[in-house]
Structure 1
Amino acid sequence: MSAVRTLWDRLALYLPVLLMGVLAMATYWLVRSTPERSGPEPTAAAVHEPDYFMRKFAVKTYTANGQLKSDVRGGEARHFPDTDTLEIDQVRIRSFNEQGRLTTATANKAITNGDASEVQLIGNAQVIRAAVTDDQGQAQPSLTFNGEFLHAFMNTEQVKSHKPVELTRGKDRFTADSMDFDNLERVMLLRGRVRGKLVPGNTH
């Protein structure tokens, strides 16, 4: 009995060491058996799909003091959340800048940002800035732009196009292969085949 007791005492002495060894081997085996991660999960690519539609609609926006800023109408509109843009069929836009000057835009199709301050007009595109009286009290005739593509910046009164355009200012008329017009800076850049007709005394 004394020999058995002595053997048991020695086993009890080494039992914690044996258990630690078993646990270490088990941990090592689990680490080796676990499949490696191939990296972070890929995020889903943004999809350019509309989240809502509007048909035969009219949307108006106002300034902080309640003045009408823009009036957008169309046959159908599709909003794309990934770009926060509207695609509008048979569009008509009326926009007023800070001085209350009216600019009207129409086209077969338009792509606008959230507040319609930037508009790409596609197909039978036309932008008209109404006749105004400038800060010096001088009458400024209306401006009309026509083309298959016009990029209008309503607040800054800029109109650009990389395609052929026609510009009419009162009775003056210009055509060009492309255009960059800034009404506030009174700068018009026409490129390509440029033709123009100036009428003396043109004020309306």
Structure 2
Amino acid sequence: MVTLAPPPAPSRRRLPQSWLWRLQSLASAYLPLLLMAFLAAGTWWLVKNTPLLDGPMEPVPPRHVPDYRMQGFELQRFDATGALRFRVEGSEMRHYPDTDTLEIDGVRLRAFAADGALLLATARRAVGNGDGSEMQLLGDVTVQRFEPLREGGLAERPALEVRGEFLHALLGSEKLRSHLPVVLRYAGGEVRAASFEYDHLSGKLGFGGRSSARFDPPGARKRVAAP
């Protein structure tokens, strides 16, 4: 595990420490929201409550065939005040009883934080446990967090952006990780890592393999690479 930080500069002595610390702070702010959004995607109570035909049914040996399938679905959750908190959309959702797994094609997650921040996550496909304890995003994964503005509305550009081909969320241990390369963009900087893991409980953000980072403060450019 490699922790990245730009080398100190005479004119900005506190900058190398501050940008990585701020990145970890922002990650700790958006992770609970992302985990709850994944949980919303993984809960298939709407499937369990789908009306079934009455009458006796003979037991059938489990096969890897979906017992429920929904197309063009949308799941919304509201808080006690009636404000929208989560919205999960997909072109198709399937549940497999033999493995108790849930698959969503063309998944789009939208979650609103209490402070008004917006989290967006998209992927070609999502796979998760039936109880929502784990969720994997696969193919063209993008996660963005937009900060609220004092005058109202949201910032035009995301404060944090994560892109890759794979993202694994473990709700029980509150971790985000990927064994495939990812790109993190934050405050004009960019981190490219062969793998990464963020532990919300410990607040540690780590990168593995060959990783590089670039952070461009106004009028300067800094780069650091780790083997």
Q: Percent identity?
A: 42
Q: Report if the CA contact (8 A) 1:94-1:104 is conserved.
A: yes
Match for 2:112 among 66, 89, 96?
A: 96
Structure with the larger RCO, 1 or 2 (CA within 8 Å, 6+ apart): 2
Cα distance in 2 between the residues matched to 1:68 and 1:117: 22
Unaligned 5+ segments in structure 1 are: 1-42, 134-138
Match for 2:182 among 134, 157, 165?
A: 165
Number of paired residues? Answer: 153
Which secondary structure state, in structure 2, belongs to the residue aligned with residue 188 of structure 1?
strand
Q: After the TM superposition, which of the residue ranges 76-85 and 101-110 deviates more from structure 2? A: 76-85
Cα distance in 1 between the residues matched to 2:66 and 2:193: 36
Unaligned 5+ segments in structure 2 are: 1-58, 150-154, 219-227
CA displacement at 1:156 relative to structure 2: 9.1
Cα distance in 1 between the residues matched to 2:73 and 2:92: 7
Per-residue CA deviations over 1:113-171 (Å, capped at 9, x if unaligned) read: 568685311011111122358xxxxx9x6111111101246899853111111111121
Per-residue CA deviations over 1:51-107 (Å, capped at 9, x if unaligned) read: 211112211123455443321111111123455543111111112356654321101
Match for 1:56 among 58, 72, 82?
A: 72
Q: Report if the CA contact (8 A) 2:123-2:138 is conserved.
A: yes
Equivalent AA in structure 2 for residue 179 of structure 1: F
Which secondary structure state, in structure 2, belongs to the residue aligned with residue 200 of structure 1?
coil
Equivalent residue for 1:180?
A: 197
Q: TM-score, normalised by structure 2?
A: 0.55
Q: Tell me the C-alpha RMSD between the 2 structures.
A: 3.5
Larger Rg, first or second structure (1 or 2): 1
Match for 2:167 among 125, 150, 173?
A: 150
